[in-house]
Amino acid sequence: MQRGVEHLGLLSRSVEETRALGRAMGVAARSGDLVLLRGSFGAGKTTLVQGMAEGLDVADLVTSPSFTLINEYRGRMPVYHVDLYRLERLDEEMEQAIESCQGGEGLVIVEWPDLLPPDLREGALLVELSVAGDEYRHLILHTHGSRWQPEEVAAMVEAHLDRGPRSLEG
């Protein structure tokens, strides 16, 4: 891998590949990690979260928290799954709830993160997902500013998907 690469792109060829990447991310997750998921409906955000939860040994069924806004799951560490789609703006109460999750000892995953102020995005791994065909999904993982190192993410992808990612210049 080239030095300075901070964006890793890959093509997931199935729901199971997207879930497998999520499992690998869950296994690699550390307490205090923040993952932001950006993508249209059907791009695979919740599928990726389901995989992360599996990698963290969460036994519960993981669903999109569109109506509850935050779902908490228990595994080897807490998983806070936040979905901001239904909000027009982030009010003080919701901002404090997210800050509280981030200050905890778990993994915070935010779908539709564009409402988050910059200070609540600091240190996040950003994953952009897009539909690339009936079963195919394109994912770009942006590691800049996060504790996730590009080499670590590339190795994780290679090990769990049995194929290498395509690196994009940072």
**Ranges of each domain in the chain:** 7-41+63-168
H helical segments located in 12-105: 15-28, 45-55, 92-102
Q: Provide the terminal-to-terminal Cα distance of the chain, rounded to the nearest Å.
A: 12
What confidence tens digit (pLDDT) does each residue in 62-109 have? 987 766 788 999 999 999 999 888 778 778 888 888 888 887 789 999
Secondary-structure class of domain 7-41+63-168 per CATH: alpha beta
The pTM (predicted TM-score) of the whole model is 0.86
Query: How many angstroms separate the Cα of 40 from the Cα of each of 12, 147, 155?
Result: 16, 26, 27
What confidence tens digit (pLDDT) does each residue in 25-64 have? 999 899 989 999 999 999 999 999 999 999 999 999 898 7
In whole angstroms, what separates CA 42 from the centre of its chain?
15
In whole angstroms, what separates CA 5 from the centre of its chain?
19
| List of residues 6+ apart from 16 with CB closer than 8 A | none
